[in-house]
Amino acid sequence: MDELDVLLRNERYPRSARYSARWMIDGAMGPNPVWQAEALAAVLPLEPGMRVLDLGCGTALSSIFLAKEYGVEVWATDLWVKPDENLRRVVEAQVEDKVHPIYAEAHALPFADDFFDAAVSIGAYHYFGTDDLYLGYFSRFVKRGGRIGIVQPGLAEEYETLPPPHLEPYWSWDFCAWHSAEWWRRHWEKTGLVTVDHADRLPDGWRDWLQWNEACDQDSGTPGQEAEMLRIDAGSTLGFTRVTAQRTS
């Protein structure tokens, strides 16, 4: 077994273990999107043939994983990665009949209302979804009764001031978009457009995040500040927030 595969062995994600660690690391744009996709799918019902929007898919690893593992048809939508690049990965993964790369900005999505059975965002929703009005836009692309799910970096709770003192040397201004599961529950449910059916802090998510960063750092040969931040925090503040909801009828 390849050394990277050993470093990224994680019993919490048995489906992800079928995929090459090299493939995951080469497509990385943040914390492991394949693990996050499997964690989200554990609480978001997906059935073969469903139409799924994957918003902020990056290099489409999450889209490919969802298509292969759950038999869904995915519109892999991103602004930072061109669709021809993602199409190459999709073809290599032999899911070109199930994954459609789309180039679009989160506020200008080229889809019909009520088109999708489900919409997900993995490691990306906090970049645009903290806006009070965004869910009203995003949810309209999902059928009434359809599902919406996100998983991304988050906080254990909301804090009066940020950053906590022990994280001050590592803090970046854009971390202010990281929120707790209960913050996201209130943020969504106050619109009346969805009913949140699951909101939690992913169990041991900070360990997954640290394991991933340590493997990436070892592969690059450069110790990373993010891994150091996660080791110092030890799960007291940082982790992953996971939320699912149903669009109301």
In the chain, the domains with their CATH numbers are 3-162+174-203+239-247 (3.40.50.150)
| Averaged pLDDT for residues 96-114 | 98
pLDDT of residue 1: 57
- pLDDT, mean over the chain: 97
pLDDT at 55: 98
pLDDT for res 191 = 98
- Express each pLDDT in 60-78 by its tens digit: 999 999 999 999 999 999 9
Q: What proportion of the chain, given as a percentage, has pLDDT over 90? A: 96
How many other CB atoms sit within 10 Å of the CB of residue 36? 30
In the chain the first and final C-alpha atoms are separated, in Å, by: 49
CA–CA separation, 77 and 5 (whole Å): 28
Looking at residue 231, what is its pLDDT? 98
pLDDT of residue 187: 98
- 230 within 8 A of 209, measured Cβ to Cβ: yes
Is the overall model pTM greater than 0.95, yes or no?
yes
Whole-number pLDDT of residue 211: 98
The residue-averaged pLDDT of 216-236 equals 95
In 3D space, the residue among 228, 236, 166 whose CA is nearest the CA of residue 205 turns out to be 236
Q: What is the mean pLDDT of residues 196-218?
A: 97
Kindly compute the dihedral angle of the four CA atoms of residues 6, 12, 15, 19, in this order, to the nearest 10 degrees. -20
* Peptide bond before residue 110 is cis, with ω within 30 degrees of 0: no
* Residue of 43 and 3 predicted with greater confidence: 43
Q: What is the pLDDT of residues 131-167, one digit of tens each?
A: 999 999 999 999 999 999 999 999 999 999 999 999 9
Stretch 91-104: mean pLDDT, rounded? 98
pLDDT of residue 249: 82
